[in-house]
Every structure is written in C-alpha cells, then in structure tokens.
Amino acid sequence: MGHPDVSKSSANDQLRLHVQSDTEATVQGAPKHGTGDSMTLASDKGAHERKEDIKEEPVSAAESNRDGGDEEEERPPLPPRPSLLKNGEKPGPALSTIAKPTTALSSVDIQTLSFPDGTRGTFSTPASRAVSQAVSFSETSGGQTTPSRKVSRTGSFDDAASLMSYAPTLKANGDLMSLLDDGLNSQSPAWKLLTSQAESVNPFENIEFEDNSLSNFEHEFDDIEALDSKSGNEEEVLSQWKSKLKHYLILSSAGKPIYSRHGDQNLINGYIGIIQTIISFFQGAKDPLMGFTAGSTRFVVSTDGPLYFVAISKLGESDAQLRAQLEALYMQILSTLTLPTLTHLFTNRPNTDLRRPLEGTETLLSSLADTFTKGSPSALLSALECLKIRKSQRHTINNTLLKTRTEKLLYGLIVAGGRLVSVVRPKRHSLHPSDLQLIFNMLFEAGSVKAGGGENWIPVCLPGFNNRGYLYMYVSFLSAFEDSTNPEGRPSTASSKSREDEIAILLISADKESFFELKQMRDDVVAQLEKNGSMEIIKAAVRKGRPSTTDIVPGTQLRHFLYKSRANVQFTMPSFSPDFSSLLARRRLMTLYHNLHASTHAKHSHLKVLHCVSKDSISLAWTTPIFEFYCVAGPNASRAALAQGANKVIQWVKREEERVFIIGGAVF
Amino acid sequence: MAARGPTGTRGGNNRFAQFKLVLLGESAVGKSSLVLRFVKDQFDDFRESTIGAAFLTQTISLDDQTTVKFEIWDTAGQERYKSLAPMYYRNANCAVVVYDITQASSLDKAKQWVKELQRQANENIIIALAGNKLDLVTAQPDKRAIQTADAEAYAREAGLLFFETSAKTSENVRELFTSIAKKLPLDQAGPRNPRSGGRGGVELRPETPGTQSNGPCAC
Ligand SMILES: Nc1nc2c(ncn2[C@@H]2O[C@H](COP(=O)(O)OP(=O)(O)O)[C@@H](O)[C@H]2O)c(=O)[nH]1
Ligand SMILES: [Mg+2]
C-alpha cells in the first residue's frame, strides 16, 4: 500500500503494477486508513447524514501520524461538540427519495455515495447522469446534455462513456488492470486523427465542437441590474439571472429569503416561494427532497434545522459535491451567529428574518459561493494547501511562534495567500479544515477584513471547534512585496492587489479582552521572524509562487495535477498558469477534476485508477490509501506519457513531502 | 462648522499625548471610510462592511510642540456586535458617532449611541457627531434627509462636537479629528512618552507593555 514502486521499467508498468496491489488491498470508496482520511473541509458534518453518533475525527492540519515519530501517534481528542440539530429536526436517516426528474433522462438509479469523510448515504440520481457526466469530460459542460449533442461527439464519447457509465460495476482486478490496456480502451478514430498532429496541444485548446455551456462563464460573476419598474427592464434582468450557471439560495423553513448569490429580493422572492413550497411538501411527507434535475440544471436541497439551502448548478458537479458546498454556507452562517443563537432566533420567532442578524456577512457567503463556482481544489479535496518551504525553515517559524506565545493564545497561524505556513496549537485541540476554510475565505477571498487597513479583532465561531460560542481572532496582514523596513511594521494592505501575496498572522484566543496581548505577540513574532531570516524566506516563497508541472517534472506532458495526502489532509498542486490562468480555463480544469473525483468517490465505484480520454484532454485519477491523485495532459499526449508523468510527480511529492506538507505541527 | 471651539488648555514643550478613539454608528454610514481617509488618505467607493473591529493608529501634530496619537477602534455597526461595543468604548477618551445625512434613521441610531456613551463610557469622554456623505447632497441637494440645523441643534444640546463630513472628498475629515484632539486634556498628557500614565494613556488593558516606538504612524 505504499508509494508506487519506483523501478526503471516503463511508467505504464509501474502504474499497472500498483493498480493491482491496490485493488488487492480492497479498500473501498474512501478508505478509512490511518486517522486522517475521514476529515473533510466541508462535509464533515454533512447535511446528508447528520447523526449524533457521527464519528468525530478532527484532524489538525498540521499533524500527521506518518512521519512525526511517536509524539503524534494519537490525535488529541477534541472537546465534545454538541450535535448540530435536535433530533426532531433532522431529515430522514438517509435520503430515500428524490423528486422525479422532469426531463426525458428520467430513470432513477439508487446509489449509495461514500463521502470523502467516510460517511455514506443513499440517494438516487437519474441513471443517465453518469453517462452525461462522462460526456462532460470532453466538453467540461454541465451534467446533462441533449442526446443529439452527444451523438455528434462520438469520438470522445466512446472512450469516456465506456469507462464511466459502467463505473458502478467495475470491480474486478482484471477490469482495473485493463483500464490502461490497449484492448478495452481502444482509441477512437478522432483520437487517432488527433495524434497525427503535434503532441503539444494543451488541454481544452481544441474546442472545435459546439460547447456553449460555459460560454457565459466570463460573466458569471457580473452583477445583475436592479429591477426598475419604470424602465421596464424586467425581461432583461430575468434573462441575466437565468444565464447564471450557478445559484445558491438560502431561505428559512417559513419561506423567508435569507440569501441569494444573484438577484435582488424583488427578483428572487417568487422563486423562493416556489422552492419553499416544494421543499415543504416533501418535508411534510417525511420524505425530504434531496434534489432534482430540470433540463441541464441540477437542483440540490439541503435542510439544516430551520434553514433550507439550495444549489442550482449547470456546472455538472455531483450531488455530494454540491451538498458539501451548501454545508460550507451553513457553516459560514453558524460562524457568524453560533448554533444556539440561530436556534434561539427561530424558536422564539419561526418567522424570523435572518438577513438582519447576518447583515454584513453576505460578502462572506458570496465569496465562498464564488470560490465553489470558480472551482476550488481545496474545497473539492477537503484539504489544505501549504506553502512549500524547507523543513528546517518551517521548524524555525514554528519555534518562533511557540517562543513568543502568550498565555491567552489558543491557535497561532501564519498563512500566505491561503497557503498554510505554520500552525501552533494546544495539545488538546486540533484545527478543523472546515474551520480553516471559513477563515481563509474571510481573509483572502472576501475583501472586508483586508480593506479595514489596520489590525483586526474578529469574533468568530468556528463550528468545527465549537459551534456554541465565539473565539476572537487577531489578524494583521503583511505583503510579500513590501519591504520590511517599515518602522511600525504594520504595512497597509489596500495597496496589495493579489490575494496570493498577502501574508496574514492569525492569533486566536478564547478571551475577548486579549487583543492587546495578541497584538504584542504579533509584534514579537514579526520582529523575531525578521531577525532570524524567516520572514524573508516566507516572502520569497510567496513571490516565487507555485512551480509549474515542467518545473517539477522537466519535459512532462502533464499540464496540471492535484495530489492529496490523505493522512495529512493536505494537498499540493502546481501553478494554474500558464495553461489555466483564465477563469474559463480554470473552470474547465476544475470541472474535469470534479468529474474524476465524483467517479472515484462514488460508493459503488471501486475505481482506484480512472483514465479518461476526450477530445480536449486526457486525464487520470488514481487513489490509494495514501493519496488521491488527479492529473491532466493535452489530448495528444499518450497514455504512457500520462502515466509516466503521474509516477514522476508522485516520486517528487514523496521526495518533497516534508516541504510541501506540514507534518507534525507544533503543539504546546 | 464646529458647534464648540477647542478649549486648548496647553502648556510646556514637546508634549506627546495618546488617546483612544472609538467610532460608532449604524452600518454603512461611512465609519471605516472616515478612518481610512484620516489614517491613509484613501477612499473606496465599494467598501465591504467591517467584520468585527479594526484597530488603527494615526498621529497628528497640533502645533510645533504638540503631537497627538490616536488609537482608533473602527467598529462594525451591526446589531450582533452590539454586546461587544462596551469593550471598545469602555476606556475611550473620545468617540466619533457617525450618521449618514442621506439616511434619516441613521441619526436616530447615532442618538442612541450618544446616550449609551454618556451613560456608560468614561465620564469625560469627548464625543463628536459626524454627518457623513456630504458630497452626495452637494451634487443632489434633494438627497439630504437630515438638515444641518437640526443635527447641529441636537449636538449643541447634547454637548457634542459637530461636523458634516465627506470621506469621499475629505471635506472636514481632518478638521473633525483635529478639533477632537484640541479638546482633549493635553495638559495632563505628560511628556513625550506614549505610555506614560495620566489620562492620555488610558488603555483597553492598562497593563499593555510600553515597548512601542512613538514615531508617527508610517501607514
Ligand atoms: N458618497 C460617499 N460615499 C461614502 C462616504 N463615506 C462612505 N461612503 C460609502 O458608503 C459605504 C459604506 O461605507 P463604510 O465606510 O463601509 O461604512 P461603515 O459601515 O460605517 O464603516 C461604502 O460604499 C462607502 O464607499 C462619503 O463620504 N461619500
Ligand atoms: Mg465599517
């Protein structure tokens, strides 16, 4: 079950060999291996199977059992967390039903999905969804396409569908092995035609066939005009609203609108009413609605106590993925209000308008939503990314935090552009990736905190830590591009353009009066880091950015990859540039990753290796108890080149493991 | 436009005083914008709401001998943070209560804050009332929801400094803070040492170490 045997034989062999040994290990779905696997960013308390007895397996982002020696052998227990919901409020044990799809693609296929955190749930999806998702490998479109369009793309359809549509039954070792065998997966005529061209075509470069599904993506994040009854722009506004590929709606069970990513109140009120009626109908029948499909649009519903969450997507994510996104929005609401407050508000007045208590946090919900719509590796993998620095350098930074630590400190973090640099924490407490996702969103995606221009003192509930109360977070930013000779050492941030070069010092305490103490610690930390050279190392690493695939594996045809270390609940990836710098290219890539991820995480899929060929890319998903790996190359790359690249990257990660991941963080 | 002039009881050379200032007022009236204009001389038309509270400092020279450093708490105006407000104004020497002259309700909210400060805060606290977004009514006079005379009358009655300001154009922003500085009891502020006792050095936490440089804010 270890890392692939690195021999000098052809890469294809290595991979195949590994496939075999892996399947023999028979780890199913998301294997519970070690202690880290079960952690997810967003679905660790999945709306889906929110049971009181759900196993709590918080994982410190900074922790590992693999290499850290004995000290970290056992993860410290987390303080007991109260259940999120009272028994009575829970949706049925497992999602038993779904509304009948409204389209022709209507046969229903009951599936049990295994979530990344190890929880399982049954629900049904239109059987044809699997197929249409397979198709979307080639076109990176939303899940459902019309049959006529499918036919027009037989070339890519054959390859992808032959793997994907039977994914649930692919069990035997033989099948897995043959995935990479020329026999089963023979290349389509289109493929052969393409291979006669240059090898260096990048993924998604050839978009010869019609693919309008993402044509509006560049405008996805544009504001919708306000309804103006005088000028009668209703139709225009409505068409703008409908052209959005992704919507998130939050409403109360009484039907009060709480949040909508797009469109103002006047515009969405009608829809909220309809949605509320539909959901309530099923609630009333004790048969909660989980999702339905209309045309090429997937609706996923999630109920959390008094709140209804709806994701409406044309981007083709799986239900589990959409549900995880809704869960994150719920966590954001808890983070603002705490669970007792939320419960109290609705117990006292079921008709509560939650917009007022949430005032000012719409931007946090929207930046989370947009992160999902743009496509976030971190959210998809439920894992964190670290800034790559030497182990000894990280050690020095950890020690600096430990040495300057004040009494009042609970967690201390240094984060650079959403990548973790260092964490210190008490032995007894871990940090939950889902909580860090909320914090990173607040600091690096939403502008609110940075725009404050000073130091910040933010009450925040971290639901993974404790959903019943607030912690207080001291935050100050430094820019990697500013020189450190600033006398007060507290440079402005408004001038810094990119979130990637923001370095944040986060000091979290349970004491709301400890601002000045933490501020002093921050001053000490920064002074020390500057003195011992660490600050320059951090800034240099930030300025350098992520390496490209060819920096990692010279000459490789891989254009991008994601590698998640299960035990560390961390992932690493190369830079999105040059091939995926644009919003659209990145979305196409992320859609591909979402599809690979969904296929390898579906319960009945025992897929350990999935190889996909389409007109615009070839890609590979490879899961073992140690890692999840996804990579993509241009359509003309050979499978051998893909597999070789994959093996090389995995060797690289193994070599660099203690630099790309935080292994065994600092505790006090 | 100040309702009351500075009292200016000053004496001695090279005085340095440090004061705590808190900004209060309804959400979106322009508190953060006023601070950012004052501290960094910046303005942003699409500012997102403050989350929690922001802490900034700015030092101004009143004259050749007198330097005043403000430690500023910019609070978020939202209801859910209400219970945290005392933490920020508890030891404040001065407060700026902001309303938006184009939003009638925002003055009511401001009056509530003034009442709360006068009841709960430091009894010598100096309070300034700022009617912000003056630029909006300069362009479109019919946008004004609160007449200057009305607000001024209220301010006089309640014993507040009063300005109409624009964070966008900077109008009266510096004047607002300077006139507060001038009203603060500099005579008790002691020598040029930021953390020397006296009224000037009142802290949220009195035992905060005094190791900071006292140079002007370099922001
Ligand atoms: N026209 C104009 N807009 C302003 C002024 N001050 C603030 N704003 C805008 O009003 C909104 C809210 O400002 P903000 O400073 O965040 O208010 P706060 O919630 O009280 O901190 C932002 O969009 C600002 O750009 C001003 O003086 N004039
Ligand atoms: Mg503000």
Q: Please indicate, yes or no, if residue B83 is contained in any of the structural domains.
A: yes
Lowest-pLDDT range of A240-244, A481-485, A556-560, B213-217: B213-217
A488–B54 CB contact, under 8 Å: no
Give the pLDDT of residue B9: 38
Give the pLDDT of residue B12: 53
Per-residue pLDDT band for A201 (boundaries 50, 70, 90) equals low
pLDDT digits (tens, 9 = 90+) for B103-143: 999 999 999 999 999 999 999 999 999 999 999 999 899 99
B205–A516 CB contact, under 8 Å: yes
pLDDT digits (tens, 9 = 90+) for A325-348: 999 999 999 999 999 999 999 999
Give the pLDDT of residue B186: 74
Q: What is the mean pLDDT of residues A294-311?
A: 93
DSSP A648: H
Ligand 1 in reach of B50 Cβ (< 6 A): yes
**What phi-psi label fits residue A277: left (phi over 0), alpha (psi between -120 and 50 degrees) or beta?**
alpha
Distance (Å, rounded) from C-alpha B18 to C-alpha B188? 11
Burial A267-302 (b: 16+ CB within 10 A, else e): bbeebbeebbebbeebbeeeebbbbbbeebbbbbbb
Give how far A360 is from chain B: nearest CA, Å.
5
Q: When comparing pLDDT for B172 and B205, which is higher? A: B172
Give the pLDDT of residue A172: 31
Ligand (nearest to CA of B165): 1
A453–B39 CB contact, under 8 Å: yes
Most confident of A396-405, A473-482, A613-622: A396-405
Residue carrying the six token digits 């992704």: A246
Which of A293, A295, A287, A336 minimizes the C-alpha distance to A311? Answer: A293
A456–B52 CB contact, under 8 Å: yes
Q: What is the mean pLDDT of residues A557-563?
A: 96
Q: How many residues are there in chain A?
A: 668
**Structure tokens, A156:** 């890519």
Report how far ligand 1's centroid is from the alpha carbon of B85 (Å).
Answer: 20
Give the pLDDT of residue A199: 53
Q: Which helix (H) or strand (E) holds A479?
A: strand A471-479
Ligand 1 in reach of B167 Cβ (< 6 A): yes
Ligand 1 in reach of B42 Cβ (< 6 A): no
Q: Please indicate, yes or no, if residue B204 is contained in any of the structural domains.
A: no
DSSP A91: P
Going along chain A from its start, the domains and CATH numbers come out as: 234-374 (3.30.450.70), 381-480+499-544 (3.30.450.30), 547-667 (3.30.450.30)
Name the residue among B49, B51, B204 with its Cβ closest to that of A458.
B51
Most confident of A582-591, B80-89, B149-158, B202-211: B149-158
Is there a contact between A449 and A441 (Cβ–Cβ < 8 Å)?
no
Average confidence score pLDDT of chain A: 73
Q: Is residue B192 over pLDDT 60?
A: no
Which of A365, A155, A331, A349 minimizes the C-alpha distance to A258? Answer: A365
Radius of gyration of chain A (CA): 24
Distance (Å, rounded) from C-alpha A253 to C-alpha A280? 7
Q: When comparing pLDDT for A265 and A182, which is higher? A: A265
Cis preceding linkage at A578, omega within 30: yes
pLDDT digits (tens, 9 = 90+) for A425-455: 998 888 888 999 999 999 988 877 887 778 9
Q: When comparing pLDDT for A550 and A238, which is higher? A: A550
Is there a contact between A167 and A597 (Cβ–Cβ < 8 Å)?
no
Q: Please indicate, yes or no, if residue B193 is contained in any of the structural domains.
A: no
Q: Which CATH number fits the domain that encloses residue B62? A: 3.40.50.300
Report how far ligand 2's centroid is from the alpha carbon of A295 (Å).
Answer: 43
Q: When comparing pLDDT for B177 and A169, which is higher? A: B177
In B, minimum Cα distance to A457 occurs at B53
Give the pLDDT of residue A69: 37
Q: What is the mean pLDDT of residues A567-587?
A: 93
Write the single-letter amino acid at A96.
Answer: S
Residues 6+ apart with CB under 8 A from A239: none
Ligand 1 in reach of B81 Cβ (< 6 A): no
Our count of domains for chain B comes to: 1
Give the pLDDT of residue A483: 55
| Contact A112/B at CB under 8 A | no
Q: Please indicate, yes or no, if residue B197 is contained in any of the structural domains.
A: no
Q: Is residue A586 over pLDDT 80?
A: yes
**Closest ligand 1 atom, residue B25 Cα:** 20
Report how far ligand 1's centroid is from the alpha carbon of B30 (Å).
Answer: 4
B218–A515 CB contact, under 8 Å: no
The pTM (predicted TM-score) of the whole model is: 0.75
Q: Is residue B80 over pLDDT 80?
A: yes
What is the sign, positive or negative, of the torsion defined by CA atoms of B29, B32, B36, B42? negative
Range of the domain at B64: 15-187
- Cβ count within 10 A of residue A182: 9
Q: Please indicate, yes or no, if residue B207 is contained in any of the structural domains.
A: no
Report how far ligand 1's centroid is from the alpha carbon of B48 (Å).
Answer: 9
Which of B24, B79, B42, B70 minimizes the C-alpha distance to B181? Answer: B70
In B, minimum Cα distance to A489 occurs at B218
Report how far ligand 2's centroid is from the alpha carbon of B33 (Å).
Answer: 7
| Contact A469/B at CB under 8 A | no
3-state secondary structure A378-443: HHHHCCEEECCCCHHHHHHHHHHHHHHCCCCEEEEEEEECCEEEEEEECCCCCCCHHHHHHHHHHH
Lowest-pLDDT range of A37-51, A363-377, A403-417, A523-537: A37-51
Residues 6+ apart with CB under 8 A from A51: A93
**Closest ligand 1 atom, residue B136 Cα:** 1
pLDDT digits (tens, 9 = 90+) for A470-512: 999 999 998 777 654 444 444 444 444 456 778 999 999 999 9
Percent of chain A with pLDDT over 90: 46
Q: Please indicate, yes or no, if residue B170 is contained in any of the structural domains.
A: yes
A487–B218 CB contact, under 8 Å: yes
Q: How many CA atoms lie within 13 A of A462 on its CB side?
A: 28
* Nearest CA residue ID for atom 11, ligand 1: B28
Q: Please indicate, yes or no, if residue B22 is contained in any of the structural domains.
A: yes
Q: Are strands A307-313 and A246-252 parallel, antiparallel or unpaired?
A: antiparallel
Residue A441's Cα: distance from chain center in Å?
12
Which of B90, B87, B92, B85 minimizes the C-alpha distance to B71? Answer: B92
Distance (Å, rounded) from C-alpha A400 to C-alpha A414? 11
- Cβ count within 10 A of residue A345: 18
A453–B49 CB contact, under 8 Å: no
Q: Please indicate, yes or no, if residue B219 is contained in any of the structural domains.
A: no
Q: What is the mean pLDDT of residues B20-31?
A: 96
φ, ψ at A632 (rounded to 5°): -140, 145
